[in-house]
Amino acid sequence: MLSDYTKIPASMNSSVALKIIPGHYATTHSHITNYMEIGTLKTRCNEAHGVANALAMHYTVNTPVDTILCADGTEVIGTYLAEELTKAGVLNYNAHKTIYVLAPEYAPNGQIIFRDNLQLAIRGKNVLILMGSLATGLTLEGLMDGVRYYGATVSGACAIFSAVKEVEGIPVISVFHPEEIPNYHSYAPSECPLCKSGQPIDALVNSFGYSILR
């Protein structure tokens, strides 16, 4: 089990903290130098609410949000975020004057799908995409493509942590940023200096957690 983590408090909310562990980790699209444990930020109500508060302050009443699409198991944060955006008076055009909160489903080939009974929350809607973490933005690109395929508009993107500032011209709002994490680097697998120096990979990681390799 990975241990010896350091807590990095959020600049916008000191009660929200990111746990980081230096090492050599492989994500789906990159190799990174820090594992970020965001499990409690997604599942513990007071921390999830704190993350939602920190994200909500970046959106104005002129940002239309009909639906929050919650990737990486961020539904608890998404529910609080919908509540905070509604209280702030953010626009939505739904008949019931409320924000839909749902998660994407993935087909065996990795394609995003929405079942017929849930498409009312996507088709013709303004969708805010919420993620756990972004290292390269490629996963977010896939989510954007899937949302647009179903006739929706991407009105924004946000995450607990993001190493990218925008994807396809859409700004990515995040609670934590690379410059706040000591010695954070992200490399293409073929260009990773840790691999070239012979340092083995500690674990495979994604927004759900880690799998130790040694």
61-111 pLDDT, tens per residue? 788 999 999 999 999 999 999 999 998 888 777 767 789 999 999 988 888
The answer, yes or no, to whether residue 166 has pLDDT greater than 90, is yes
- Of the CA atoms within 13 Å of residue 135, those in its CB half-sphere come to 21
- Residue 38 CA to residue 51 CA, distance in Å, equals 11
The separation between the first and the last C-alpha atoms of the chain, rounded to the nearest angstrom, is 10
Contact 128, 141 (CB under 8 A): no
Specify whether the CB–CB gap between 56 and 81 falls below 8 A.
Answer: yes
Amino acid at the residue 57: M
Q: Is the pLDDT of residue 21 over 80?
A: yes
Tens of pLDDT, residue by residue over 113-163, are: 999 999 999 999 999 999 999 988 999 999 999 999 999 999 999 999 999
Judging by DSSP bridges, how do beta strands 31-37 and 186-187 pair with one another? antiparallel
The predicted-structure confidence for 180-193, as pLDDT tens digits, reads as follows 998 899 999 999 99
pLDDT higher than threshold 80 for residue 214:
no
Residue with more model confidence, 152 or 209:
152
- Which residues sit opposite 174 in a β-bridge? 159
Return the structure tokens found at 102: 């749902």
| 189 Cβ contact list (under 8 Å, min separation 6) | 26, 30, 31, 195
Q: Which domains does the chain have, with CATH numbers?
A: 6-212 (3.40.50.2020)
H-helix or E-strand containing 138? helix 138-149
CB-based burial label for 118 (10 Å; 0-12, 13-18, 19+): middle
Maximum distance among all alpha carbons in the chain?
Answer: 58
Number of residues written out for the chain: 214
